A = this chain, B = another copy of it.
Amino acid sequence: MMVVEEVQRQIANRALLAGDKLPSIRSYAARLGMAPSTVVEAYDRLVAEGLISARRGSGFYVSNVKQPFEIAQAGPHLDRVIDPLWVSRQSLDASLKHLKPGCGWMPADWMPQQAIRKAIRSQARANEEGLSDYGNARGLPELRNLLVRDWADEGLSLSPDQILLTSSGTQSIDLICRLLLRPGDCVLLDDPAYFNFQALLRAHRVTVIGVPLQKDGPDLEYFEKTLIRHKPSLYVTNSGLHNPTGVTLSLQKAHKLLKLAADHDLTIIEDEIFSAFEPEPSARLAALDGLSNVVRIGSYSKTLSASIRCGYIAAKPDWIEALTDLQVATNFGGPGPFAANMVFTVLRDGGYRRQLETTRTLLAKRRAEVAGKLDALGIRPWILPRGGFYLWCELPGNVSASTLARNALKEDIILAPGNAFSLTQTKDCFMRFNVSQMQSDDIFGRLSRLLDEI
């Protein structure tokens, strides 16, 4: 029942509101190339469900139903295995028995455990305020000052008042969406892009358009056409290392992108969550642009801890002021002083940087090893990224990544199939692998068998 599902979805994501008239049976049937009787049947079912009602001689109208907003229903209906939310939920709720090559973080024993424990113990001896009070509305001043000094080294000069600490990188983007977007606005994402960007934007009820990603950044010709045609307000992307592909934006493309943003009044959210994994820093939009069209966001969930979380936003002063209000209104402030102090203590300590260095070396070795083992199965990386733990790989022959993921799940293996990252649903021959979660050789044997069985 395509018609039933389409109308249900349009009501769920508020594209159709109470009182709106539905297309006539004749025109709907013509548009979809189906028999009018099929549309009649569908409308009858929607009437039975109470979603729409008929007015004699006038047509069908959306009923006044107080239906909760279910984000899973707010986008195109997808196979569960490639639904963006479903991949996140599976990874979060996985138990120890699961293998998780599809998951978006490193195993706990790759994280700087010693530094975390040391920082926690020092907090246990901290002053009373730090353990019980809400803390400053913009977040711990010491951590914001440290970020200002770090960023000055890469040529980004700003004041601590231009930084807002948040609970997570995701919450950073969410707050910016609250500031800049309204339902019905248009937003650009890379295709492929991190799947939770899609889920987050669904929650804001905006139209999302994908821009093809090339090996040095987005396809700028396509990008410009989209700017002209759809007038998007926002573009969300990763800097440093792109998720899922590991692509690094070239300096030349970075400049062109900023020119386009300035010309078309586009704001760019630059999510630098993976940039600490780069062997050496690449072009940063925020530093090039000076936070005029760019908002920088990030967090320490990938490199330090996802249990004690702390993210940030760097933007124009008046935007930070408005974002601070929004964070007070919707969460009564950001990360507590405890989390911010933990991050500050670890970042200040030289041990963290040394551990990052070790992790980068280890990841480079694992990327090469895993790429070799996948290659033996006919699974080929699209590029070999400069850093990070992702390999974006093409599957052999005509294997469907979603079929493979579905079969793997029955055996408690969580994979991340390409179309979960693709707005255009054109990446079903791709799979994202996390090399840090593939330490047991067992996984390659099982992948080989699963490929054979398709």
A residues whose Cβ falls under 8 Å from a Cβ of B: 9, 11-14, 17, 65-66, 68-72, 85, 88-89, 92-93, 105, 108-109, 111, 113, 116-117, 120-121, 123-125, 127-137, 167-171, 174, 178-180, 182-185, 196, 199-200, 202-203, 233, 265, 301, 305-309, 319, 322, 324-326, 328-333, 336-339
Contact = CB atoms under 8 A, between A and B. Distances in A.
Main secondary structure of the interface of A (DSSP, over half): helix
A185 B18 CA distance: 12
17 contacts: A11-B184, A14-B184, A66-B265, A69-B180, A70-B325, A71-B329, A72-B325, A93-B136, A109-B128, A111-B128, A111-B131, A169-B332, A171-B330, A196-B328, A196-B332, A200-B329, A200-B330
A190 B196 CA distance: 37
* Identical copies in the complex: 2
A183 B306 contact: no
A120 B342 CA distance: 12
A84 to B, nearest CB: 8
B85 A325 contact: yes
A67 to B, nearest CB: 9
Contact of A89 (B105, B179, B305, B328): B328
Given A184-B13, A325-B89, A336-B309, A203 B330 contact: yes
Contact of A178 (B69, B121, B180): B69
A107 to B, nearest CB: 8
B200 A71 contact: no
A113 B171 CA distance: 29
A390 to B, nearest CB: 17
A5 to B, nearest CB: 8
| A-B interface, 8 closest residue pairs, ranked by CB to CB distance from nearest | A108-B128, A307-B336, A12-B184, A199-B329, A111-B132, A92-B137, A170-B332, A120-B124
B135 A68 contact: no
A336 B132 contact: no
A65 B181 CA distance: 9
Given A68-B319, A85-B329, A330-B170, A178 B203 contact: yes
A323 to B, nearest CB: 9
A77 to B, nearest CB: 14
B336 A305 contact: yes
A190 B170 CA distance: 33
Nearest to A323: B68
Contacts of A71: 322, 325-326, 329
Contacts of A199: 325, 328-329
A366 B106 CA distance: 51
A11 B182 contact: yes
Contacts of A337: 307
B92 A322 contact: no
A307 B139 CA distance: 11
A92 B134 CA distance: 7
Contacts of A65: 182, 185
Contacts of A120: 120, 123-124, 131
Contacts of A128: 108-109, 111, 113
Contacts of A325: 70-72, 85, 89, 199
Contact of A307 (B70, B135, B309, B329): B135
A72 B128 CA distance: 32
B180 A68 contact: yes
Contacts of A331: 167-168, 170-171, 174
A336 B89 contact: no
Given A92-B134, A131-B308, A309-B336, 13 more contacts: A12-B183, A14-B184, A68-B319, A69-B178, A85-B325, A93-B136, A105-B133, A113-B131, A117-B125, A120-B124, A133-B306, A133-B307, A174-B331
For A65, A108, A301, A306, which residue has the most chain B Cβ atoms within 10 angstroms?
A: A306
